[in-house]
Structure 1
Amino acid sequence: MAEWKDKCDNEFHLQAGGISMPDGVDWKNVYEKKPIGRNLLKNPAPHGVTHQEPPPEPELSEVPPDYSNSPPPTEPKGDYSGWVKTVGNLAYEDVNAPPGAVVCYVPGFSWLTLEQKVDLVAEGLWPQLLDDFQPAIAVEDWYEESQLHQSIYQLQVRLLGSDGQTVIKEFTSNPVEDLENYSHTWKKVSHVFSGYGPGVRYIHFLHRMKNSFMVEFHSTLVTGSSVVVKASK
């Protein structure tokens, strides 16, 4: 076990960072799972895009799609393995049309919610590290500025206790978009948890992306989702 303990220290620079390395830890498991410095989220880019490149421009059909034989889409195409996915439709908004005007189409909006719960101990971290040292936990996410609405993205990250329910610390983000200027770019949301206190055993990561449907389906994409435990406070 001393061999694996030395390997962990060399790999993660634990003692140099002031982290104690008790003998009761399964250091072979820690070394193999490499829980420090890697992304603990599964499938961080479910839509198959990266923030290193500009978001794809929406493709508009010359002829409106025919949905007579199949229902319109309710979510963007993607691989959602590793995520718990839900789609929730929102009520139609009131349209302030002038008297006598005929409203042909009203935009409908929905939220695509993706969430994961990370078991920190199962990922290779040990209780003494989480309770005594309380390493920094860095969260990052990137969303597409899709211009669909003033509110197109929400993020909620919670540090949970051993029961997987008790919230010890929480970070939320609900940005408001500037619709006056077209800026079809990736936007970064990030936060670092530190000094959160003892008892953290799980991380619950949840983000929502707003989609719209008016004749055609338009989505808001996400990528680069990450939760990383640092070898520092």
Structure 2
Amino acid sequence: MGAARSANSAGNASSSSFLSSASASSEAVFPLPPDILVEIFLNLPPDQVVCVIRLVCHQWKDLADGEFFWRERCRREGYHPHGASKVPSDWRLFYFLCKKRRNLLKNPRGEDKLRGWTLTQNNGDRWTVDEPMVPHPNEAVHKNFVTSYGMCLKEQTVDLKHEGYSPSFMDEFQPPIRISDWYAPRWDCGSEYTISVQLLDERKNVVQEFHPDTVYFPQWNDQQWCQMTHVFQNYGPGVRYVRFSHGGKDTQFWAGWYGIRVTDSCVEVCPALDS
């Protein structure tokens, strides 16, 4: 028993000694030229480079943290800044924000009922969720929000810092912010659609706003899906939130849910040019 414990202790000590020695002399263990190492790193998953490669030794950390490495990674994967004046000061941050670009709105298609939305007006027979009356261009859309005979509006406010877009990045880079929304009427009832999207500063004051004219549909229409899009650009420093609000109602005061239908809403921060 004592001999076994002694052997285990010796084995553990030996393993610990080997790991310490390998860590201390990693440059000698992996005697590859820096340009070869960089090429290898460029072919590894980015999360592995950050979470594993950087921890091996000082040389690998310096290469994995270097501006050239992340600038080259952006170039190879097609992430290009929007202009010569918009060169990132942190290419690694720029890379990951491009890589993880996504819709910042929660529950944009009504799959979780009305969760994630604040109902600022909920009149008539109120907001509800239903299946689209005609197929949506995006085959992944199986639900839409439906308005009633009284005005129905709902909104979300996106906290950009909470979503990973730091104040310094937003102020320095001012990446385009793209919004889109899909809406459709019923064929047998007139309806109206409205949308308002605001960029807000830290105190929720409006910096810039997109608020087009209300869209009206007559009775006996083709009830096809329409898309509303807008891109905020060159909006200046100070943007911290995006407030997205939309909705509408029917125009014939019919009980039930004959008003405008909305779904697949989107707010995206776009650091790189779209390829």
The answer as to whether partners of 1:12 and 1:231 remain within 8 angstroms in 2 is no
RMSD between aligned residues: 3.4
What is the CA-CA distance between 1:114 and the residue it aligns to? 1.5
Match of 2:22 in 1: none
What percent identity do the matched residue pairs reach?
32
Q: Say whether residues 1:109 and 2:158 are aligned partners.
A: no
Answering whether residue 226 of structure 2 is matched by residue 190 of structure 1, we say: no
Higher RCO (C-alpha 8 Å, min separation 6): 1
Letter aligned with residue 159 of structure 1: L
Higher share of residues assigned strand: 1
Gap regions ≥5 residues in structure 1: 49-77, 91-107
2:247 equivalent in structure 1: 208
Q: Is the 8 A contact 1:12 1:36 kept in 2?
A: no
Question: What amino acid does structure 2 have at the position aligned with 1:119?
Answer: D
CA distance in 1 between counterparts of 2:82 and 2:180 reads 26
Q: Aligned pair in 2 of structure 1 residues 215, 126: CA closer, same or farther (>3 Å)?
A: closer
Task: Give the helix-richer structure, 1 or 2.
Answer: 2
Deviation at 1:176, TM superposition (A): 3.2
Match for residue 82 of structure 1?
116
Residue 131 of structure 1: aligned partner: 171
Among candidates 190, 212, 228, match of residue 149 of structure 1:
190
Please report the TM-score for the alignment, with normalisation by the length of structure 1.
0.63
Tell me the residue number matched to 2:79: 13
TM-score (norm 2): 0.55
Query: 2:149–2:259: 8 Å Cα contact kept in structure 1?
Result: no
C-alpha distance in 2, partners of 1:208/1:216?
Answer: 16
CA deviation vs aligned residue, 1:134-171 (integer Å, no higher than 9, x gap): 11111000011235335x211010000012x1100000
Amino acid at match of 2:248: M
The code of the aligned residue for 2:105 comes to L
Gaps of 5+ in 2: 1-49, 51-60, 125-147
Query: SS where residue 211 of structure 2 aligns?
Result: strand
Question: Which residue of the partner structure matches residue 216 of structure 2?
Answer: 177
Per-residue deviation at 1:193? Answer: 0.3
